[in-house]
Structure 1
Amino acid sequence: MDRRKFLKGVGVAGVVSLAGCTGGPDESTETDGENQSDQQQGGTGTDTTSGNESESTGTDSTDGGSGDGSDVNVGMVYATGGLGDGSFNDQAQTGLNRAAQDLGVSFNESEPSQVSEFARFQQSFAQSQDPDYDLVSCIGFLQAEALTETAGQYPDQDFMIVDATVDADNVANYLFAEHQGSYLVGQMAGLLTTQEFAAGAGETNPEETTVGFVGGAEGSLIGKFEAGFTAGVKAVDSNIQVLSNYVGGSSPFNDPTAGKAAANSMYNNGADIVYHAAGNTGTGVFNAAKEQGRFAIGVDRDQSVTKPNSADVILASMVKRVDTAVYNSIEAVVNGNFEGGANTTLGLEQEGVKVVYGDQIGGDIPEEVKTQVSDARQQIIDGGIEVPTDPSNV
């Protein structure tokens, strides 16, 4: 019997009864940046029931259905952007829902509203006896500090974390080569800003040859997105200007108003295309692109699908397979081969990151542009192109 069965007088605040798969945000979830519900803002700081999202972007690295997880319980702690972001958290939820469908696991989800709440939710799942959670999934690098402490307090509890490395024997770490995928959308943006191009509700001004990047919180992780994007742009023409802005603040990944202001500044200064790596803050980038008649690039999921109202300005998305990391970690628990202390990196070669062209206007992108992007992808995999991870090195 797990030692957690003997814990006495331990509260499980914030952990609701087992949810199963009973509704929630789906692929059509759209947030306008100014009028969102508390759940979409992640503002309740409480658990929510699970969604039932069937679409999974890209190629799966697992076959699925390889084990019986009917007696496995998973606790999910999302990033502060909350569900309904059409991006990072929703991609994680896709992997969770697929594990429930394929493997039969049960799960509960929590949506912290701020970084200070991560430890409480992590510990609530670890302390719980009814149900007893076999795995606690922690989404986002901002959870690393809290998880370092929590993992040490509960050495018999298995955890996984996305986008960070926690040095503990009971934590599986999943990382991504975001810079590689960002290089490809940067190259696409560089090629398009140097030519006259119109599609959907947007068009370029080839005389400006300027693009932009909007990040959430400044740091090494989001810096990889910026570094790769800038390197891809500069590979086309070193004279192309790349504008960059990090929104920061108390909710860097859940502030569409700030995202819109940052993007508007870039469009007003000649940017044809703006790429964001800012979670739900990116909704504001899309809103700005529509108002300005320019283009944007999504992140984490195919945002031309998850943000359909902006599909006429989203050229492509740099998809990051957070769902694969979540699914694989759960499958490992089901199959009894979970590896705490292991680091797994998913890049272009593993299809952990990839470019997905926009559902509505991606077909209008010239084939010669797509061919050059495809060729660069293979060169990165073969080692012919080394993509920087630090913006200061571009």
Structure 2
Amino acid sequence: MKNRLFLLVAILSLGLFLAACGGADENNEGNNANTDENGNTASEGEQASDYKVSMVTDEGGVDDKSFNQSAWEGIKAWGDNNGLSKGEGFDYAQSNSSADYMPNISRFVRDDYDLIFGVGFKLKEDLQKSAEQFADTNFAIIDEVVDAPNAASITFKEHQGSFLVGVAAALKTKTNKVGFVGGIESPLIKKFESGFIAGVKSINPDIQVEVQYAESFTEPAKGKMIATNMYGNGVDVIYHASGGTGNGIFNEARDQKHNDPDRELWVIGVDRDQYEEGQIDENNVTLTSMVKRVDVAVQDVIERGMKGEFPAGELLEYGIEENAITIATTNEEAMTDEIITAVEEWEEKILDGNVEVPQTTEELEQYIDSL
């Protein structure tokens, strides 16, 4: 009898314990859920499915192997993580000319997208107008600044990454001549140029840096012609910040490497790891790339918006510290341990505040004078 009574008490105690555990789980589940305006709860997945994100490219296109592509990869990664698909939760619109900007933006507004990205400084004017006209929609522009209470401006510390690839170029050159090719001359691209030259001169002030602007981000033929002249003048490392125009620089480097496999010449890519663009025969002419993690910034802004914390009216700047600026080390043969160690040392100096990387021509001149 005593044994049966003991068994009954044990069973009742177990039941109470399990019920308590179940209640705790339910309470935790409720605490982790999101609550809508009516007091109803929704899981993160359900919340994400209600949040729609889109982007409008500039003329470079979504597969420009540059920041359009990186931005799209960030949006797509967010969508994939939340079980969404292109056209069902996230999408992009291709702009073939500047005349497409406003129609593309307006279409996404009509389709009730919560957040619309404009990729590139060329979209500034149309995104500014759209933000003022459509106050209930959130907008974000990449590589520019707009002034609106429902818009965020996403910028990067490109000068930091450009400084680091400048260090790599200076340690790699055999001719003491390196080159910089920009797309359209602007304050943005001047950040790339200034940072690069500062990095080069920090290693060896006597290295010559040849600079030329193509005045286009979409003309590979012009990039190829500039590279032909630079390599012909003895330059052996070219860093480009020229979007699709840079494809022509890679083409010329591959052609020359194919014709003379023993010649050492290099290209430094931009925005994303452009290692694949440098492959030719058994060689690869991509020394490194200044990787601008537009995808990291885009995902950060989306996540904040999805949580109801969209950085409206804010100017955001992503750099080394935010893991949004780095350089590629994919080409293990070219990026030797010596070069990587030196780059890491200079990176620490930047993070510690011991090196203030110049962003303008004036700051660059002052920096060089201080060396």
1:307–1:68 CA distance, 2 compared to 1 (3 A): farther
Q: TM-score, normalised by structure 1?
A: 0.75
Q: What is residue 246 of structure 1 aligned with on the other side?
A: 213
Q: What is residue 78 of structure 1 aligned with on the other side?
A: 57
* Native 8 Å contact 1:103 1:331 kept in 2: no
Matched, 1:94 2:94: no
- Aligned to 2:48, the other structure's residue is in SS state coil
Query: Which amino acid counterpart does residue 189 of structure 1 have in structure 2?
Result: A
* Native 8 Å contact 2:181 2:212 kept in 1: yes
Q: What is residue 124 of structure 1 aligned with on the other side?
A: 107
Query: Which amino acid counterpart does residue 352 of structure 2 have in structure 1?
Result: D
- How far is 1:144 from its partner? 1.0
Distance 1:214 1:187 in 2: 17
Larger Rg, first or second structure (1 or 2): 2
- Aligned to 2:113, the other structure's residue is in SS state coil
1:233–1:67 CA distance, 2 compared to 1 (3 A): farther
* Native 8 Å contact 1:316 1:362 kept in 2: no
- Aligned to 1:368, the other structure's residue is in SS state helix
Distance 1:93 1:389 in 2: 27
1:246–1:66 CA distance, 2 compared to 1 (3 A): farther
Matched, 1:153 2:117: no
Deviations 1:120-146 (A, max 9, x none): 2222222x1xx3111111111111122
Deviations 1:136-172 (A, max 9, x none): 1111111112211111111111001111110110001
Matched, 1:212 2:195: no
Matched, 1:370 2:309: no
Query: Which amino acid counterpart does residue 47 of structure 2 have in structure 1?
Result: D
Q: What is residue 333 of structure 1 aligned with on the other side?
A: 305
Matched, 1:143 2:153: no
- Aligned to 1:297, the other structure's residue is in SS state strand
Fraction of identical pairs, as percent: 40
- How far is 1:97 from its partner? 0.7
Deviations 1:323-375 (A, max 9, x none): 01211222122212112101111111111110112x3x333433222111110
Q: TM-score, normalised by structure 2?
A: 0.79
Alignment of 1:1-394 (within 5 A): 68-105=47-84, 106-126=89-109, 128=110, 131-193=111-173, 206=174, 208-248=175-215, 252-293=216-257, 294-305=265-276, 308=279, 312-357=284-329, 359=330, 361-394=331-364
Which fold has the larger relative contact order, with Cα–Cα distance below 8 Å and residues 6 or more apart in sequence? 1
Distance 1:221 1:101 in 2: 32
- Aligned to 1:68, the other structure's residue is in SS state helix
Query: Which amino acid counterpart does residue 313 of structure 2 have in structure 1?
Result: G
Which structure 1 residue ranges, 5 or more long, are not aligned?
Answer: 1-64, 194-205
* Native 8 Å contact 1:162 1:325 kept in 2: no
Which structure 2 residue ranges, 5 or more long, are not aligned?
Answer: 1-43, 258-264, 365-371
- How far is 1:86 from its partner? 1.6
* Native 8 Å contact 2:271 2:289 kept in 1: yes
- Aligned to 1:303, the other structure's residue is in SS state coil
Distance 2:211 2:52 in 1: 42
Q: CA RMSD in A?
A: 1.8
1:376–1:94 CA distance, 2 compared to 1 (3 A): same
The structure richer in helix per residue is: 2
* Native 8 Å contact 1:84 1:90 kept in 2: yes
- How far is 1:392 from its partner? 4.4
- Aligned to 2:49, the other structure's residue is in SS state coil
* Native 8 Å contact 2:278 2:284 kept in 1: no
Distance 1:224 1:146 in 2: 24
